[in-house]
Amino acid sequence: MPESVDQFPALLAMEAVPLFRDLGYRFTGAGEGWAEITFDATERTLNLYGIVHGGAYLFLADSAMGGALGTLAKPDERVITAQSEFRWLRPLEGMTIRARARVLRRGRTLSHCSVELFDPDGVVIGVGNGTYVVLPPEERKRRRRPAAAIAGEIDAQPHLPI
């Protein structure tokens, strides 16, 4: 039984990301260990041949898998893509793509997900999988570096004259 997307803070946070919002991606279903995103292609997402750009598929697939894992992650954990693979199976008929992802294995640090992309008639047009790193809060603090420190390191590098 589908649960409300509103039950999962990670999905709401993902929808607030400007790129996600600008492209018009929206979670249309979710439950524990799975998520669904629907995407209506626009002129901005077409390539030079007038078809949906492959990068839009990849962003959709990765977001759906990350969202599926986000339904299981604790609110203070970060889900980071470590690896992903995608295969296009057939051309998209129409302009709407639905991605449905599920968590195959939720590990302590590494997790594995799969995704299927469907056209408006429910025909599978692509499949993929991904490996994700789940960072607990203490790892986040240890790995995060202040922007000022990074900028100082860049400024300290020798610069070659132009």
Residue type, 121: D
pLDDT, tens only, 68-86: 999 999 988 999 999 999 9
pLDDT of residue 150: 46
Question: What are the two backbone dihedrals, phi and then psi, of residue 25, each rounded to the nearest 5 degrees?
Answer: -75, 145
pLDDT, tens only, 104-144: 999 989 999 999 999 999 999 999 999 999 998 876 555 55
- The separation between CA 19 and the C-alpha centre of its own chain, rounded to angstroms, equals 11
CATH class of the region 5-156: alpha beta
Q: Using a pLDDT cut of 90, give the percent of the chain over it.
A: 69
Question: What are the two backbone dihedrals, phi and then psi, of residue 57, each rounded to the nearest 5 degrees?
Answer: -60, -45
pLDDT of residue 136: 86
Residue ranges per domain, the chain?
5-156
pLDDT, tens only, 22-63: 888 999 999 999 999 999 999 989 999 999 999 999 999 999
DSSP per residue, 16-40: TSHHHHHHT-EEEEEETTEEEEEEE
> pLDDT class for 158, splitting at 50, 70, 90?
low
pLDDT at 151 over 70: no
pTM: 0.83
- Any idea which of 1-10, 44-53, 83-92 has the lowest mean pLDDT? 1-10
